[in-house]
Amino acid sequence: MMQVVWTSNTRLTIFTMDLNFNSTYQAAVKVAEPVATHLQLHMDSAQENGEENLATVPSAKIIERIIDIAFWASLRREEGNATRISLAFMQPGQAGKPMLFAQRLPLTPTVLTKLAPGVERPGIHIGIWYEGTDLYIWGTTTKLPNLCFVLDVAEPGLLVVKQRRLLGLGKFTNIAVLKGDQVKIVDEGCSMKKDVPEILSSLLGHKTSSVWNNGTNVLIQIAVSMRAHGKGGILLVTQACNNSWKDSIIQPLQYPVSPAFTGVADLVKQDGTNVSEIFWQNALRREVENVSGLTAVDGATIINDRHELLAFGAKITRSYNSTVVEQVIMLEPIQGGKPQVLHSSAIGGTRHLSAAQFIHDQRNCLALVASQDGYFTIFSWSPTQQMVQAHRIDILLM
């Protein structure tokens, strides 16, 4: 069944067709309704604001079906390679210049597994639409309408439900993560809580900027790159006008950088008037990878809030005039998640403990910690709680 809603500047089509099937992946059943509600709330808000080129809102049943099929495809392999794909629910007419298949392909785990090797690169999406009560694959695209429903198959048994952003860094906001029978749904309301770091508010879509070289956006790019190299690491962000952070670092520094390396900082200052934005984005990406790669070296990488690289391989120690950090507030921006006050020994390994101690001593700084197993944590000081807070954000970086 199709319902067409006309607004002053666009047409919004909401598909509520009934699909006669029973999901064998029960997590799909659990997450479908909350995701559909999320998409509809954002669509309503976008319409009220007069946004254009809006995607179609899939029903909970459609979402459930796509997730169910994608999950079983994720467990299959093609010539020994795991299935990694991105699915987008949209009509070909909203895809710019899509690659259309001469014949529609049925949306099945087998078909997705066969297609995966050719469409696994970032930025390529398999287009999904429907006829009657059947979902089908119409081709591939690199362009998506605003607020489009996207499902990424990241690894076997790991699915990430996303939405195409209206603006802000990158293309997507994560809605939910499904790993086996575990379901985590992002809680956007966390961005409104007190003492939330700006990087978290931006990832949750509350304080986004469409400017590619916005300072917070650059820090997010570094975080994504740190997590991607898979070796773990610590990034300390200090204030450019304050050198008190040196009290928490063992001297002499093992790998000091003098003068401070300004590869990222110089690009952030550029307004892009003399060259294309794509040129600056690519240049910035290279510099970001240059800095984030250094976090794989044992010890902490240190930059200031101007994105100037000061040192790497630094050893964190307790400041001479401070006390040992004893408790940390652990938070994760998911529905149903509650803050936990933990003893510092229970928050993770050596990286986490040293980062917590650094923030306990240097309360105007920020610490980003990537674990080898993919977890990612932001440490900051909470003036309200007078305690170090640790935000687990890996769910937002996938």
User: Of 8-17, 254-263, 385-394, which gets the smallest average pLDDT?
Assistant: 8-17
Q: Give me 108's structure tokens.
A: 């099945």
Residue 216 has pLDDT above 90, yes or no: no
Domain boundaries of the chain, sorted by first residue: 2-185, 215-397
Averaged over 145-164, what is the pLDDT? 95
What pLDDT is attached to residue 393?
A: 94
Higher confidence at residue 170 or residue 121?
121
Class of the CATH-defined domain 215-397: alpha beta
Pairing of strands 125-131, 85-89: parallel
Residues 18-76 pLDDT 10s: 555 678 899 999 999 999 999 999 999 999 989 889 999 999 999 999 999 999 999 99
What average pLDDT does the structure give for the chain? 89
Residue 224 has pLDDT above 60, yes or no: yes
